[in-house]
Structures are given as structure tokens and as C-alpha cells.
Amino acid sequence: QQQVKQSPQSLIVQKGGISIINCAYENTAFDYFPWYQQFPGKGPALLIAIRPDVSEKKEGRFTISFNKSAKQFSLHIMDSQPGDSATYFCAASAGGNQFYFGTGTSLTVIP
């Protein structure tokens, strides 16, 4: 059973546009929600993370929106650039133990 469901599977955005990736979860014990960026042949790298005590966190062009009641969280990439083209994974953990990852979103930013 997929603990974290991620959509869409792929996304194509024009340069300068907004990229939005969504994740949903069921386990209400999850208390840490990171987003990772992965380039081909590389390991995932942490982009931004949020805890459920806040509804939004922004770092540069990256924003996480968190809806605790709906058990959903999303990543927004503002002013998307070709260099943002990568695979993005959401993840969740409870008490910082086992981490569950989504299936990934392949983002392509067209110049």
C-alpha cells in the first residue's frame, strides 16, 4: 500500500510558470514532510520540508502548502526555470523513523 500518493506523474511547464506537485497521505501520525529533487544518476537532495504545525513554508522560489485536515501537501515552484527540470519526490515520516516516498513527478521546464 502506497503510504504517500503523489501526482501528477509528469509535468511540463513553460519557463517562468508555476509548477505544482501534490501529495496525499493517510497516516495521521506523520509529522515531517520533506520534498526532494533528483537529477538523473544522482541521489535525491532535500529541497524544503514542513511540519504540520504550519500551513505554509517558503524558501526562495519553493513553497510548501500543507492542509492538515485534508491530509494533503503540495510543492509550488515559482518562476520555473529549465534548470528545475528534474524528478521531485514528496516524503513523510512519523517521529523521524521510516520515511515513505511518493512515486515521483518528472518536471520538464520548456525554455
User: Virtual CA dihedral for 99, 100, 102, 106, nearest 10 degrees?
Assistant: 30
77 forms part of the interface with other proteins (CB under 8 A): no
Residues with Cβ within 8 Å of residue 29, at least 6 apart in sequence: 94, 95
* Closest-CA residue to 64 (of 23, 103, 6, 107): 23
- The residue from 64, 93, 107, 109 that contacts other proteins (CB under 8 A) is 93
Q: CB 71 → other proteins: shortest distance, Å? A: 17
* Closest-CA residue to 26 (of 104, 100, 97): 100
- The residue from 25, 35, 62, 101 that contacts other proteins (CB under 8 A) is 101
Quick one: which segment of 13-21, 57-65, 70-78, 92-100 binds other proteins (CB under 8 A)? 92-100
Return residues touching other proteins (CB under 8 A).
6, 31-32, 34, 36, 41-46, 49, 51, 89, 91, 93, 95-104
